[in-house]
Amino acid sequence: MRNYQQFYINGQWVAPSTNNPLDVINPATEQTCAQISLGAQADVDAAVSAARDAFQSFGSSARQERIELFESIISEYKNRYNDIAEAISEEMGAPISLATKAQTGAGLGHLKTALAVLKEFHFEEQSGASRIYKEPIGVCGLITPWNWPMNQITCKVAPALATGCTMILKPSEIAPLSGYIFAQIMDKAGVPAGVFNLINGDGPGVGTALSSHPQVDMMSFTGSTRAGSLVAQNAAPTVKRVTQELGGKSANIILDDADFEQAVKRGTFSVFNNTGQSCNAPTRMLVPADKIDLAAEVAANTATKVVVGAPNNESTTMGPLVSKLQFDKVQGMIEKGLKEGATLICGGPGKPEGLEQGYFVKPTVFSNVNNEMTIAREEIFGPVLSILPYANDEEAIAIANDTPYGLAGYIQGNDQQRISYIASKIRAGNININGQSGDLNTPFGGYKQSGNGREWGVHGFEDYLEIKAVSGLE
């Protein structure tokens, strides 16, 4: 069992201010796999003080110094690559293939992308008679989720570090193991003391203390819309900047001229990826009304190809949900779909046969769903697909936009002009056409209650910078 009870503050591994241990549960076995400590106000105060002191020098560090630091971090990340993948699989149940390629690979990708952007980024520019400077915002609080732990850690830490900010990272207490290894990487790579700090903890104990702290200049949060709203409320009295990447209920519009079976398969597999625990999953599949039965049949056949099982099994394509809380939530949403009259095509309540231990769920497909049903309105965060009929393109657009969220949208079809029009009407931050998604330079973020600000690539730098105009100098 892993013992990860220390915090990383001011370049040192230190004991927490209070003795408040927490067991980390392996969701595939329901057994304790590690123990961490939950932090408190005193730990946050110590980390913020260290970050504030470090900013005095790191905030004006040379670009080349930060480039060399990134090169060292990337080298050490590669050395620990397999350790990170194993930790992710253990802490949140990702199949080892997914943990290795997509989850851990995303972390390395964000580090490399930030390094490339840093080398070319213009931190100052001339505008008429004024000189415009882009300066680091200061001390940043970073709160990251459990579903894509290393992806979210690196897409916050990398731009903060590249722009000259200092930071305090609070990973999810549900899946904190990969974050702890990342702190070891930062230490081994020689990040200056106080520039990067890690405190484990929960929202009330550490998240609130961090977001309300008067010496924190910015909060970057990824998680539920409910928790993101609380972070913003806590930050409001000190008028600090808050960026958020929150929930989603993304529509996947399959047009009548699409390669229909391929489109349905692609959309269905996307929902089941990462056990449905992705904020941008295309969980509402919109199909022409006269093809809804065919869509249900193809989706059901696709679900049979999903291999649910132990994450350390190479043949597994879908592992467990992350926790009992999440398992109970998803089971409740499936029951609600049945109660409200949706047609269950496959899956349903309960665990898959032979997987009684662990938070495993069945790949589930509902058809004949309407947009007033709970399973079409609320983010389930599990492998549950809802198929909805539409009569024409305008109705599809209306259904897609009839949601408080606006993170992503999906369109599949062959008429590029028609697709372009629909894409222009969908109120969401990322639109994916025929399975094509962006790369790590594509801005990621949402409209409406899916958050504000953008992450990834050059766009991710902007949120960590203040703009200063200097006018009148000769």
In the block, residue with structure tokens 């609080």: 141
Q: Taking the alpha carbons of 286, 287, 290, 292 in that order, is the dihedral positive or negative?
A: negative
Given the residues 245, 346, 379, 455, the one annotated as active site: 245
Query: What is the identity of the amino acid at 438?
Result: G
Given the residues 165, 279, 346, 379, the one annotated as active site: 279
Cα–Cα distances (Å) from 30 to 22, 178, 325, in that order, read 14, 19, 12
Q: Rounded to whole angstroms, how far apart are CA atoms 67 and 194? A: 18
Pick from 459, 296, 269: nearest CA to 389: 296
245 labelled catalytic: yes
Query: What is the identity of the amino acid at 353?
Result: E
Contacts of 157 by beta carbon, 8 Å cutoff, 6+ apart: 142, 167, 169, 182, 196
Q: Rounded to whole angstroms, how far apart are CA atoms 339 and 34? A: 39
What torsion, rounded to 10 degrees, do the Cα atoms 336, 277, 258, 426 define?
80
378 labelled catalytic: no
Contacts of 402 by beta carbon, 8 Å cutoff, 6+ apart: 371
- Ramachandran bin of 405, using left for φ above 0, alpha for ψ from -120 to 50, beta for the remaining angles: beta
Catalytic residue set: 245, 279
